[in-house]
Amino acid sequence: MSVCRQGAPIFISFPHLLYADDRIKNSVVGIEPDENIHRTLFEVEPHTGLVLRAEKRLQINVFVATEPFIDDMKNIKDVIFPAIWINESTVIDQKSADDLKNKVLRLFAIVYGVSIGLIPFGVVLFIITSIVFRRKRRSRLHPSARHLLAESHNSIAHQDD
């Protein structure tokens, strides 16, 4: 943030310096990061990408450094000092959740069911097409070729006996 704020020593982190280096966390008394409380969270409906619940949490910190020319700051050690903790949360309301379920997600179930039902239909259609294609092919053969084909099938059958 320093670049955005004309060089001001401002840093953004998760609250309680969650995921920060231990040296930074241990430099401030009272810091107790807890992932369940201090992390950012997004719950997204996987089919539509709609955010169902969001919890954005961040903390604005100020870098405080030793300043030898100011008497009150001579004995201060360099530290990243938490200044503000921001928590923005939203959850989809029940009416919107019901609308999503009834108007959108129900269609996904229908499309899934139809697509599963079309698989056996496609297999049966393929088999029928193959049978029809073979019969038409055989009927197009010249009569003498059909006779030779029948004889070869008969001779193969007699050889097996």
**What is the pTM (predicted TM-score) of this model?**
0.56
- Give every CB contact of residue 15 below 8 A, 6+ residues apart in sequence: 33, 37, 38, 57, 58, 59, 82, 85, 87
pLDDT digits (tens, 9 = 90+) for 91-110: 999 999 898 888 888 888 88
Pairing of strands 51-64, 79-91: antiparallel
The confidence band for 27, taking pLDDT boundaries of 50, 70 and 90, is confident
CB 33 within 8 A of CB 13: no
> How far apart, in whole angstroms, are the C-alpha atoms of residue 31 and residue 9?
20
The confidence band for 1, taking pLDDT boundaries of 50, 70 and 90, is low
